[in-house]
Amino acid sequence: MVIRSLIPEDKPKIRRIVEQMGTFNKEEIRVALELLDEALSYPERRDYYVRCAVDELGSLAGYICFGPIPMTHGCYDLYWIAVGKRFSRQGVGGKLLGHMEDFVVKKKARRIYVDTSSTTGYEAARSFYEKHGYRVVCVLDGFYRQGDHKMIFVKEV
């Protein structure tokens, strides 16, 4: 598995991955694709970094999107991480996460934040973050909608 930067040909493949996951709603998918467009159109801004995991045959296995949090010193947001069903449970997500963590440490990061939903559809994501050393630091009740709380995870790096 190779981790590399986003190229324009990745966008439709990433779209398929996030649509097939069944976790994200239409609005979330739209935002995920907007961030890809931003990263491709304005790489010099360094607002969003997108890395793709590609197998030895060139198939896109998953991706991660992250970036510095404006007006902070050394804090980054993990915006999106998704792995194709065919590659699920093969360590792709962990490799993407590790790549991001190594990258931000080289940029003198202090912390990485992750926002996610409290709903059952995001249970696997929450377990994944906890398994990789992220901890819940805040829960905002009813943030996304009634009964759907925003859970903020953080990892000190």
Q: Which domain CATH number covers 105? A: 3.40.630.30
Q: What is the pLDDT along the chain (157 residues), one digit of tens a residue?
A: 999 999 999 999 999 999 999 889 899 999 999 999 999 999 899 999 999 999 999 999 999 999 999 999 999 999 999 999 999 999 999 999 999 999 999 999 999 999 999 999 999 999 999 999 999 999 999 999 999 999 999 999 9
- The span from the CA of 102 to the CA of 94, in Å, is 12
**Residue 93 resides in a domain:** yes
Q: Where do runs of H (alpha helix) occur along the chain?
A: 11-21, 26-41, 92-106, 123-131
Bridge partners for 114 per DSSP: 78, 153
Bridge partners for 78 per DSSP: 66, 114
**Residue 26 resides in a domain:** yes
Q: Which domain holds residue 71?
A: 2-113
Q: Which of 98, 144, 90, 91 is nearest to 122 (CA)?
A: 144
Number of domains observed in the structure of the chain: 1
**Residue 126 resides in a domain:** no
Residues 6+ apart with CB under 8 A from 134: 112, 114, 153, 154, 155
pTM: 0.94
